[in-house]
A and B are shown apart, each in its own frame.
Chain A
Amino acid sequence: MMRDQTEILAKILQILDEVCPERNARATRSAQASLIDDYYIDSLKVAELSLLLEETFDVSVFLPHLIASVRDPHELTVGALAEFVQSNLAESV
């Protein structure tokens, strides 16, 4: 099972490339990238991303919980997603 933060981040970036091919050309492919402003993630893609993350990491990754937890939607970054996955992995042990 993958636990390393760097490895989780790399895998998430790979999955985001698949789910959201139309990335903001000015955004870097990094933990700081915004899911909304840079990956243009919409509600359908949230569901698709949740499912792919669950299958990749073999853990429940219900992204609406992450979305509901932030005060400002701009806090929804790739890094925040990686932390969310890592925390779910830790809880599942």
Chain B
Amino acid sequence: MAAPFSIHKDEDIYFVELDTPGSSVNIFSRAAAAQIRQFIQSLKATDASLVVFKSTKPYSFLNGTELVLTASTRSLEDAAALSEDTRQAYRAIEQCPVPTVSAIHGSCFGCGVEFSLCTDYRVAADSFDTCFYMTELKDYYFPPIFGALEKLPRLLGLRAAVDFLLWGEKWRAEQARERNLIDHVLGAENFDSNLRAFLTCGALRNLCKRPILESRASLPANDATDRAAIRNRIDRLPVEQRGLYSLCFEAMLESLQGPCSHEFKRKSTAAFQSIFHSDAWRNATAFFFIRTMARTASLGTSSLIPSDPVTLRLPASGSEYARIFGDRRLQGLTVHRDAAIGRPELIGENAMRQPFDVQWGYAAEVRPGSVPLIYFPDGELYDVCEVFIAPESLPRFRSLLVLITHLGWQPLVRRMEGTSVLNTLIEAGASGLGHVHREAQQLLRAKVLRHSSQVDVAVSSLYDFPPSRGSFMSHFARAG
């Protein structure tokens, strides 16, 4: 298999470009860790003026480490052993004798964020798919272990660090710049040439090493109020989540005071150890796979890369979704607003027009007509949408549906008949989640949906069912 990074030098800048072989997203594998360490060990301060890390994989800068391996860990020792290669590689980047830059275009999740925190500078593309998100607590109920707990409070301040790390806020490039996570935003169109122009401009000629942990932390004036509000919010979390969230919050506070004390490290180790005996962590990790299974069941692929670029013609007025689709600049998506049309169209090969319908906002009666229908039951509130489509039309719409996942919704694909599954689940919710479970069982028995993971994802979105409880369908089946 090809090496994860390709490394080339242009004048006095090294470009280190990640393209994880055989995967639709970049992950920091053991092979990637070994390659980075070897490269940096061979580097001298006089070899180059900059080392720039970037991705050649569309839609992904760095999405994480090898989750398959993490899912088999049972103890802190297992986790430490598995993460040692990554830890050493990250340390090598921090200690690289040449100043380093992360040039981020595409998703930057979890240990991808932690990777970028090891470089001295961070720049990012202003596209909607360039998204910063700390997955660990929100998605996996697992503490970040590659430095985010120590670095983020120092870099962002306590409030923003908590929003990002504990509450799982997703930031696009401009938001990340406003909060000091990155240094500069670059235009996404022609990102590579914008990057090159930026790197070679005069202002960057005298870059120096800039380790985050050597910066002085500053406490905000309203620090005590902030801390009380955060602790209150932690106390309102599902019971199985409070321990880890409290621990991470205390670690963030401690990092603002200086190096963590021996006693704190001892307590943290014991608390982290307890995670490996908790159902919450196993459930949350399993939920990541459930989410991917739901997407695969709907789209017929787990890939997050559309096979073709997509062009849409959307009505020019009166449609909120058309504004959102147009405003969220996304690689591979071109949106034309046209006053002359009332129905959206997907422009396919040879300019062939594929009309479809969009229902934006809740409607009591949702049924497809003669063309595919995409139903967003509460606009942006829910991150799931329902797609009525005939199996033979799916290949033509698949790239659009993959892009809809990048725009923020998980498509729930079903046949072109019957009424809305999401409405069924929403209406059943008025009588409690037990009723939702019974309705979902009927939908699966009738094969309206392909797989139970699709229900799990819908319920997670509609009812905030926490990942730390795993599959909604399994949870209720166990509960009887």
Q: Is the CB of A51 within 8 A of B451?
A: yes
Question: Of A40, A62, A64, which contacts B22 at CB under 8 A?
Answer: A40
The residues of A that contact B22 with a CB separation of less than 8 Å are 20-22, 40, 42
With beta carbons under 8 angstroms apart, the residue of A45, A70, A73 that contacts B302 is A45
- A24-56 to B contact mask, C-beta < 8 Å, 1/0: 100000000001100011111111101100100
A24–B69 contact, CB under 8 A? no
Instruction: For B304, list chain A residues within 8 Å (CB).
Output: 44
Q: Which of A20, A24, A40 has the most CB of B within 10 A?
A: A40
B289 at the interface (CB under 8 A from A): yes
Pairwise interchain contact A64-B289, C-beta atoms closer than 8 A: yes
A4 within 8 A of B: no
Asked if A63 lies at the interface with its beta carbon under 8 angstroms from chain B, I say: yes
Whole-angstrom distance between the Cβ of A91 and the nearest chain B Cβ: 14
Q: Pick from B72, B82, B296 the residue with the most CB of A within 10 Å.
A: B72
Contacts of B69 in A (CB 8 A): 36, 73
Contact status B23-A42, CB under 8 Å: yes
- Chain B interface, number of residues (Cβ within 8 angstroms): 33
Provide the bound-state CA to CA distance between A22 and B290, in Å: 24
A83 to chain B minimum Cβ distance, whole angstroms, is 16
Q: Please report the number of residue pairs spanning A and B whose Cβ atoms sit closer than 8 angstroms.
A: 87
Contacts of B71 in A (CB 8 A): 64, 67-68
B351 on the interface (CB 8 Å rule)?
A: no
Chain B residues 61-76 with CB under 8 Å of chain A are 64, 66-69, 71-72, 74
Whether B289 pairs with A50 at a CB distance below 8 angstroms is yes
Instruction: Report the nearest B residue to A50, measured CB to CB.
Output: B293
B297: interface (CB < 8 Å): yes
| With known contacts A40-B22, A42-B27, A68-B282, A47–B66 Cβ distance under 8 A | no
User: A21, A62, A65, A67: which contacts B68 (Cβ < 8 A)?
Assistant: A67
Question: Does B286 count as interface, using CB distance less than 8 angstroms?
Answer: yes
Tell me if B292 and A47 are in contact (CB < 8 A).
yes
Known: A22-B22, A67-B68, A68-B285. 7 other contacts (CB 8 A): A42-B22, A42-B66, A48-B301, A50-B293, A62-B286, A67-B72, A71-B72
Q: Which residues of A contact B (CB under 8 A)?
A: 20-22, 24, 35-36, 40-48, 50-51, 54, 62-65, 67-68, 70-73, 76
Interface set of B (CB-CB < 8 Å, partner A): 1, 20-25, 27, 64, 66-69, 71-72, 74, 82, 282, 285-286, 288-290, 292-293, 295-297, 301-304, 451
Q: Give 4 closest A-B pairs by Cβ, nearest first.
A: A47-B292, A43-B67, A22-B22, A44-B302
